[in-house]
Amino acid sequence: MKSGKEVCLTSNNKNFKIITGAVENYKSPISVYINITSWLTVTKKVKDVNSLIKEYRWIVRQFLKNNSYVKEYFTVNNIVDLRINPTGIRGKKPTFFELEINLYQSGELYPLVKPKHSNIKDLKPILQKIVNDLIILPIFVENSNFEFQLTKIIKDCEEQGIC
């Protein structure tokens, strides 16, 4: 039986925890997953939380389908799962944020011929660039709707009058 392997990626933004890996055969993975977690607080008033979550899921999915760097290594078929608790957003409390992305390596002859990046460790710099430079920074950090932090504890509790 083949087993998987996880590799932690370092984030340029310390408010995110990033884990990537292959579920089955990490020495020659057909697909890899990226799991990005954080705690978020909404900075602007949101009317419809569910439509906002759907919009960001769609933005990430479209980005992965249209970006030339991603298409160089992975197929346009991907799975994007964005989980944000809508009740936490409404209550102005930190709520858990999880973005899971499954990417499938490109190459029509993949099962017969090993691809250029056949090991999960070979894919690490590619995944690092996709996550840090192309997903986290432009889609989530530069967006003024959310503020991210690594832990649930509010850093500025004195300003909010909680402490």
Q: Which residues pair with 17 in a beta bridge?
A: 37
Percent of the chain at pLDDT exceeding 90? 4
Q: What angle do CA 52, 83, 80 make, to 5 degrees?
A: 90
Q: Among the residues of 67-112, which ranges form H helices? A: 68-73, 86-90
Q: What type of residue sits at position 46?
A: V
Indicate the pTM of the whole model.
Answer: 0.78
Sequence ranges of the domains in the chain = 5-160
Spell out the residues 6+ positions from residue 100 whose beta carbon is closer than 8 angstroms to its own.
Answer: 33, 34, 35, 36, 79, 80, 81, 83
- Count of C-beta atoms within a 10 Å radius of residue 90: 12
pLDDT tens, residue by residue, 47-81? 787 888 888 899 889 888 888 888 888 888 888 89
109's tokens: 């002859």
